[in-house]
Amino acid sequence: MLIKSIRNKAEQTPFSPMRQAYIGQYLKRLFALFILVLMRERFYVCSRFVFRNFRRCFNISNKELQINEEIRDNEIRVITNDGEQLGIMSAKEALKIAVEQNLDLVKISPQAQPPVCKIMDYGKYRFEQAKREKEARKNQRVVEVKEIRLSLNIDTHDFETKANHARKFLASGDKVKVSIRFRGREMAHPESALDIMQKFADMLEENGVIEKPAKLEGRQMLMFMAPKSSK
C-alpha cells in the first residue's frame, strides 16, 4: 500500500523525465529492500520450525550412546521412561513408539543380548548428566601446595605467625611447603636450618605430618607437610 500510494502521487505530480527516472529507481530499490526483509523473516521462522521439530534427527556431539536412527539392530529389548517392559521388538517398531511419544530411543545396554534400549528425552538426560558432572567437579576439592618461607634469623614472633598460617592451610586440606633460603655464608650452617625445620614441624604436629623430610636442594632447604588424616 505504501509503494502504491507513492506511485500514484508521483503520477499525479508533474515531474521532469529525469526526476521520474530517479523516482522509479528509488521505488525499485525500496521494493527490493522490502522483499529482502520479508525473505529474512520467513527464513528465521522456518529455521526455528526446523530446529524445534527436527532437532532429534541431528547427531549430538560428544555423545556416548546410540540414539534413534543410529540403532539398527534387528531385535532390541525396550523399556519405557518409567521402567515398564515393552518386550522384544525391532528397532524400527521401537523408534515409531518413541516418535509417537515425542521422545528418543536410546541404547543403554549395547552388550546385552538382545541390546536394551530405553525410550526417554535424550536432551533432558544429557542436560541432567552434565549438571551432575558439574556438581561432582564442584565438590571435588583440588589440593594446593602453600609455601611458607622461613630464614635462619627469623624471630620468635614471625616464626609463630608463619606457623599459624601453615596451621590454617593444613586445616583447610592443603599441603605446606616449608623453605629456608641460604644467603652468603649461611650455607656453612645447614644444621641450623634442620633445627628450625624440626621445631616448625613440632609446632604443627596436631594438624599435619611430615610428607617429605627436610632436604638440602641447592641453596635452599625444603620440607613438605600434609594434613593429618582424620580417623
All 3 cell numbers of residue 180? 629456608
Checking if the pLDDT of 200 tops 80, the result is yes
- What topology does CATH give the domain 145-227? Translation Initiation Factor IF3 (3.30.110)
CATH of domain 68-138: 3.10.20.80
Q: Which residue has the higher pLDDT, 137 or 23?
A: 137
Identify which of 79, 157, 68, 158 has the alpha carbon closest to the alpha carbon of residue 112. 79
Sorted by where each begins, the domain ranges of the chain are 2-52, 68-138, 145-227
What is the pLDDT at residue 57? 43
Residue 223 pLDDT level (bands cut at 50, 70, 90): very high
SS3 of 150, please?
Answer: strand
Query: 141: alpha, beta or left, given left = phi > 0 and alpha = psi -120 to 50?
Result: beta
Q: Look up residue 82 and give its amino acid.
A: D
Instruction: Tell me how far apart the alpha carbons of residues 219 and 154 are, in angstroms, rounded to a whole number.
Output: 17
Q: Which residue has the higher pLDDT, 205 or 48?
A: 205
CB atoms within 10 A of CB 201: 20
Phi, psi of 220, deg, nearest 5: -145, 155
Q: What is the pLDDT of residues 166-181, one digit of tens each?
A: 999 988 888 999 999 9
Checking if the pLDDT of 3 tops 70, the result is no
Q: What is the pLDDT of residues 69-127, one digit of tens each?
A: 888 888 899 998 888 888 898 888 888 888 888 888 888 888 888 899 999 888 888 88
What is the pLDDT at residue 177? 92
